[in-house]
Amino acid sequence: MAAWDLTVTVEDLGPDAPPLQISVASDLHIGGVILKLVEQTNLKKDWSDHALWWEQKQQWLLRTGWTLDKCGVHADARLVFTPQHKPLRLGLPNGATLKMRACFSSSAFRTVMGICRVLSKKHLLLPMMKNKDSSEELYDLTDVPLTAGSVQALYNGMPAHFADSPKTEAVYKMLSVSLPSSAPEAIAKLYRPASVVDKTHIHTRWLDSSRSLMQQGIQENDKLWLRFKYYTFHDMDPKYDAVRLTQLYEQARWAILLEDIDCTEEEMMLFGALQYHIGKLSLSQDMVSSCQGMDDLESALKSLEVKMVGDSNSTDMLESMTAPELNDYLKIFRPKRLTLKGYKQYWCKFQDTSISYYKSKEDRYGEPIQQLNLKGCEVAPDVNVAGQKFCIKLLIPAPEGMNEIYLRCENEKQYSQWMAACKLASKGLTLLDISYQSEVKNIQTFLSMQRSNSAAPAAQTDDSINTHSLVSPRYQKKYKPKQLTPRILEAYQNVAQLSLTSAILKFLQIWQALPDFGISYFMVRFKGSRKDEVLGIANNRLIRIDLGIGDVVKTWRYNNMRQWNVNWDIRQVAIEFDGNINIAFSCVNADCKVVHEYIGGYIFMSTRSRQQSDTLNEELFHKLTGGHEAL
Amino acid sequence: MDDIDAMFSDMLQEMDLLTQSLGEEAESAPLPKPPSIPDPQEMNFSIGFTDLNASLHDLEDNDLDALMADLVADISATEEKFATERDTFTGSAPVAPKPSQPQSNFSLLASTDTSRPATSYNSIAAPPLPPASKPSKDELEEQMKADKIKLALEKLKEAKVKKLVVKVEIMDGSSKTLMVDERQTVRDVIDNLFEKTHCDCNVDWSVCETNPDLQTERGFEDHENLVEPLSTWTRDTENKVLFQEKIDKYEVFRNPQNFYLWKKDKKSLKDMKDKDKEQLLEENFCGASVIVPDLEGVLYLKEDGKKSWKQRYFLLRASGLYYSPKGKTKASRDLVCLVQFDNVNVYYCKEYRIKYKAPTDHCFILKHPQIQKESQYIKYLCCDDEWTMTLWVTGIRIAKYGKQLYDNYKAAVRKAAGSATWANRTIQASSSASTPSPTPKAKAANGHAPQPAVETKGSGNQTSFPPPPPSMEILPPPPPDPSFPPPPPSMEILPPPPPDHMLPPPPPNTAKVNKFPPPPQFPQSSFPPPPMDDLPPPPPPPEDAELPPDFLPPPPPSLTSNGGEALPPPPPDPFASLPPPPSAPQNFASAGGAPPPPPPPPPPPTPAPAPAAHKPHDSVRKVAPPPLKRTTPQLTAPSGGDFMSELMTAMQKKRSHQ
């Protein structure tokens, strides 16, 4: 067989080095080509990761047993001899960028799996594949109009274990601990989708998971986004996967801050309060305690301690069971119709779950003017630190309705004590409860935050978080910090007792309960229709949205779905539902493979939840998402 | 006072009847309630929601036993509590949650109440465990103390357990009365009612509350506690507890498509496959967070303080009920929150077209459970049709309770399935004379009571006399008293203790005793029945505590009356006159009514009680006659609550009659 010259560029020789010419025959297999190539370079190194990349055809020649002939390589082919693993910059959900080596030659699906495996390597007990069901996918950065909020650090990552060195530990911390929020101005500057149409653009950029990175034009050191693509989260067990939980939280948080998903004002305040709480706990958390469940354990131990002490010296305990009281002069105000009476000072006693008030301290042994049982009442703060106003608003239920009563405290300290007591009492707990002290402290911290805000708005210390950074720009515009803080404080009352993990889980729960949660939008044109419409893909249904009205026109559920396929010639996705309902659409701004893969991916996820196996069935995934055969 | 007296006499009557009937095994006819007494008034004093009087009438024997056992448990619990000097309130109101109700008539009672706690406290302080200490008080004292301490926490909890006697109306017009303790869930109560009513135990049975003022009705959710909401009812409430089938209760789990796919046309939903329903449930209830049906549509909202209703476009979200203000879009950011669900419940309403000029009668309201009357804090909503209302109410329940609702349903289904297979057995069991005690939990509570309480209760019917023995054991403390050596050592302290301890045990015994004891009692020569004696003492103690000097005198009389019981003596003295049937009813029968407890020993020293007593006395007299035969010691268990004191008085009255 005739020999001919094959041109191969060897990257390791340097960018300016001329391509090598090697003499080959058509029946030479790829392995032989590589062998010849290596001999010719005269370089002594480990070539095991290298493979041949066929530039014109945009494909790898990975089967070393195949002959050039079989691969279709002729003299005009320009091949590149290059490593299969290259560094890649990954934009994580939390805004940090991670640099790590990824495989450019296998399917994106596998590559992502490999990356995830590394990221959660700490948990070796986990089946390696497990992380994949979080379905992180790569986001192509090339046409992303924004730079991630803050490029916190570039880490060279391929650590065998995160604990290997301080540096890798830091990486792990970055991954597993939520980062402090950025300044509100920075958030405002970030790109926000203004409409459903904007949202469809984001989703055009998902990579094809059946092809390799290289095939999709990703170059060494390019930046990709790593995101949770499918909104079906199985096995959300914080004990196993701190990284995943934290990153999921970050993704949810940014989706809310950037108004990617809409929520009401009340919900936003709660999200803000949770963010504040999570941020505060994360800051105070050191590496070790980042191990999940630690905080829970701690509190369990604490209460255990209390019990033990109680058992050992019972008499003391019994005495201490006499509930402590709060006694002080407070100003009380009961708004009534047609009265302009203001606050009046009384001697107040807080005992158990009740407040009794007396005309003066001297009268305290007599009958109280009134006794208020706070069990089941609503407690709301009415505070303005700058104005030195510390009021507690109580709505005490009674058969006739709610009694509205305001307690005015002199200072922060008094306020935090009484507020905490009211809060506990409303839940039926007394001052004895172990959470009392921490509740007091929480309130004080929050107040101090407000104080530092008003004193030095720009100051961003560890302790102070600008409340504006906790809400989306819409609410930043709507409210001044002075107005916002009390509202977040109010919501904060209800979450201040949560541990870090439960706060994160709570955040995710509320996020998932939002009506628009988990819908990915694509611009499509339905068959027989003349206008562009939006197709929403969720984990259990497809939604057709009329752009004119902005309203849901129709929903189809996957479990009524008979089959779906792609006509690659006209690039149209066709779906058949029960009852002879057929729909077909083409994609306006995304590749129809993306849409098809999305739907197939959700079907795949639903099969997973049923069988609960630990390994991912890659074959099934590709079968469902590939669109090559009808199911 | 009249009320109380009347009530007590009623109760006593009832008890007599019950015991008698038991003896003959002819419990069938508990006799119509004593007609003599005006019920309406009595109701006031009852537990705040049900007519105590009536409820006691309705109590079945077993319930009665259980009740007594409970009371005993309460007593011991209160003792514990006082020993620890903690929280006097709960202790004083084990049965009647709101003893505080200030009624002029009750002034006396109140005083006795307070005094009693005090005494019990003293008693414990000095001789922690009289019963055990019988042989050598000091030694055992230490031991007992240690033991007690170990259980202290638990007992403290026990002491706080509230119990209510609840009358539940059943659809067929009949009613059942049962004892519900604070820790019981509605599910427990329903199970309990299943046992009593022999209905098919399908999942739709629910316990509902109605409020005639607001014309509302709400089914309690299975996981809720019944006692808590009921104890917030006002005293004069006409609210009722119903036991009925409510299809709405779990409809969402049978046909989730009607709620979650409500936008689709009905036809396609009708024949949905079970598999699809299951999946729907899994999607919405088994995820990390429960998905609330995406309800939206026009509802009428009653404007604050006006009679007009305004149409608004409402949307339901997990975080609350929202509407979109005029001219705004339905986008989340523009929504206005009408109410969040943390502090409110949702209630069906009846006939609001008339009451509030609502556009239709398909209304529901959202309010804090404690609100019982019309108020600006109630949100009134009106729907076009019944189905829409069901949709919204169910949606709100899902938003409020989340996965709990689904868990409730699954538990109910399990229960229903179980009961179907076990139907035969349960019927047999229940039909047999000895039905199990009300509820397992209640039993547990009793467990803490002095030894006899639990067992006696359970075995009450069969073992007629076993009970007495236990009482004897308990009595031990008294023996010392009779001799009266104890008084000398610590005049004030010792005397009271024994009575207290004594008291707890007696009730249980009495409960059973009644069945058989009757005979013994009849022979009753003045106060022979030892157990009986024990009971009376309790009342005196309070006074004793207050007036140590007075106490001394009593001892001697006691000796005379009954060597056996130290304390009994005191009462007898005062009553000594009473025993003589004729005179007794008049003068002190009254005392028996309410103040009786105090009167016995102190009568002379404390004039106050006596006068007060007179009023009740009259009423009592009228009533008393019928039941007179039996002494009903069982009731006497004084736990410190009004109820208890009433029982005490009733007891004494009875005696006097005898």
ipTM of the complex: 0.79
Assess contact for A327 and A339: CB atoms under 8 A: no
Residue A95 in tokens? 């805004």
B387: Cβ–Cβ under 8 A, 6 or more apart, which residues?
none
Assess contact for A183 and A467: CB atoms under 8 A: no
Of A321, A508, A515, which has the smallest distance from its Cβ to B288's Cβ? A508
What's this model's pTM, rounded to 2 decimal places? 0.66
Q: A66, A83, A100 — which closes off a domain?
A: A83
Task: Please indicate whether residue A178 or residue A365 has the higher confidence score (pLDDT).
Answer: A365
* Strands of the A520-526 sheet, one edge to the other: A551-557, A541-546, A533-537, A520-526, A581-587, A572-577, A561-567
Mean per-residue pLDDT, A379-405: 84
Mean per-residue pLDDT, A418-439: 84
Contact: B288, A509; criterion CB under 8 Å: yes
Of A264, A310, A512, which has the smallest distance from its Cβ to B332's Cβ? A264
Residue of A nearest to B398 (CA): A513
Spatial separation of the C-alpha atoms in residues A571 and A592, rounded to whole Å: 6
Q: Which amino acid is at A587?
A: C
Beta bridge partners of A82: A51
Residue A150 lies in a domain: no
Of the candidates A212, A223, A220, A208, the one whose C-alpha atom is nearest the C-alpha of residue A83 is A220
Q: What is the CB-side half-sphere exposure of residue B451 using CA atoms within 13 A?
A: 13
Of the candidates B225, B266, B222, B278, the one whose C-alpha atom is nearest the C-alpha of residue B246 is B222
Which pLDDT score, from 0 to 100, does residue B651 have? 60
Residue A124 lies in a domain: no
Which pLDDT score, from 0 to 100, does residue B655 have? 61
pLDDT tens track for B336-393: 999 999 889 999 999 999 989 999 999 999 999 989 888 888 999 999 999 999 999 9
- Same domain? A427 vs A524: no
Contact: B84, A318; criterion CB under 8 Å: yes
- In this structure, of A84-88, A269-273, B278-282, B496-500, the range with the lowest mean pLDDT score is B496-500
Assess contact for A176 and A239: CB atoms under 8 A: no
Q: What angle, 0 to 180 degrees and rounded to 10, lies between the N-to-C axes of helices B61-83 and B642-657?
A: 120
Task: Please indicate whether residue A57 or residue B24 has the higher confidence score (pLDDT).
Answer: A57
Residue A560 lies in a domain: yes
Residue A197 in tokens? 């149409």
Contact: A513, B289; criterion CB under 8 Å: yes
- In this structure, of A463-472, A575-584, B596-605, the range with the lowest mean pLDDT score is B596-605
Assess contact for A483 and A272: CB atoms under 8 A: no
Contact: B319, A317; criterion CB under 8 Å: no
Of the candidates A492, A180, A267, A173, the one whose C-alpha atom is nearest the C-alpha of residue B319 is A267
Q: A52, A83, A114 — which closes off a domain?
A: A83
Contact: A314, B329; criterion CB under 8 Å: no
Phi first, then psi: give them for residue B550, nearest 5 degrees: -55, -35
Which pLDDT score, from 0 to 100, does residue B223 have? 93
Assess contact for A249 and A508: CB atoms under 8 A: yes
Contact: B289, A512; criterion CB under 8 Å: yes
Domain with A378 in it: 326-431
Contact: B85, A319; criterion CB under 8 Å: yes
Residue A205 lies in a domain: no
Assess contact for A630 and A596: CB atoms under 8 A: no
Residue A221 lies in a domain: no
Task: Give the gap in angstroms from C-alpha B49 to the nearest C-alpha of chain A.
Answer: 13
Task: Give the gap in angstroms from C-alpha A353 to the nearest C-alpha of chain B.
Answer: 11
Which pLDDT score, from 0 to 100, does residue B79 have? 56
Residue ranges for chain B with pLDDT beneath 50? 1, 21-61, 84-133, 424, 426-641
Which residues of A fall within a CB distance of 8 Å from B289?
Answer: 508-510, 512-513
Mean per-residue pLDDT, A166-188: 66
Which CATH number fits the domain that encloses residue A74?
3.10.20.90
Beta bridge partners of A349: A327, A356
Mean of all residue pLDDT scores within chain A: 76
Residue A394 lies in a domain: yes
Which pLDDT score, from 0 to 100, does residue B69 have? 58
Which of B49, B80, B84, B267 to mutate to probe the A interface, most A CBs <10 Å?
B84
- Paired sense of beta strands A59-61 and A389-398, if any: unpaired
Which pLDDT score, from 0 to 100, does residue B73 have? 59
Phi first, then psi: give them for residue A318, nearest 5 degrees: -60, -40
DSSP H or E run through A536:
strand A533-537
Which of A195, A261, A321 to mutate to probe the B interface, most B CBs <10 Å?
A321
Domains of chain A: total: 3
pLDDT tens track for A232-265: 776 666 666 677 788 888 889 988 988 888 899 9
Task: Tokens 């004002």: give the residue.
Answer: A265
Spatial separation of the C-alpha atoms in residues A428 and A354, rounded to whole Å: 10
- In this structure, of A314-328, A585-599, B96-110, B288-302, the range with the lowest mean pLDDT score is B96-110
Residue A464 lies in a domain: no
Which CATH number fits the domain that encloses residue A527?
2.30.29.30
Question: CA–CA distance from B462 to each of A595, B444, B518 (Å)?
Answer: 76, 21, 16
Phi first, then psi: give them for residue A56, nearest 5 degrees: -60, -40
Which pLDDT score, from 0 to 100, does residue B405 have? 94
Which residues of B fall within a CB distance of 8 Å from A233?
Answer: 288
Which pLDDT score, from 0 to 100, does residue B642 have? 52
- In this structure, of A73-77, A263-267, A290-294, the range with the lowest mean pLDDT score is A290-294
Q: A65, A83, A101 — which closes off a domain?
A: A83
Contact: A400, B372; criterion CB under 8 Å: yes
Question: Percentage of chain A surpassing pLDDT 70?
Answer: 76
Contact: A513, B292; criterion CB under 8 Å: yes
- Same domain? A427 vs A525: no
Which pLDDT score, from 0 to 100, does residue A478 have? 86
Which residues of B fall within a CB distance of 8 Å from A474?
Answer: 333
Spatial separation of the C-alpha atoms in residues B494 and B296, rounded to whole Å: 70
B409: Cβ–Cβ under 8 A, 6 or more apart, which residues?
B203, B250, B253
* Pure H helices in B522-657: 530-534, 540-546, 548-551, 555-561, 572-576, 583-584, 590-593, 609-623, 642-657
Contact: A398, B322; criterion CB under 8 Å: no
Mean per-residue pLDDT, A152-175: 47
- Paired sense of beta strands A156-157 and A97-103, if any: parallel
Which residues of B fall within a CB distance of 8 Å from A579?
Answer: 268
Q: What is the DSSP string of B304-361?
A: TTSS-EEEEEEEEETTEEEEEPTT--S-GGG-EEEE-STT-EEEEE--HHHHH--SSS
Residue B364 in tokens? 């529901």
Residue A372 lies in a domain: yes
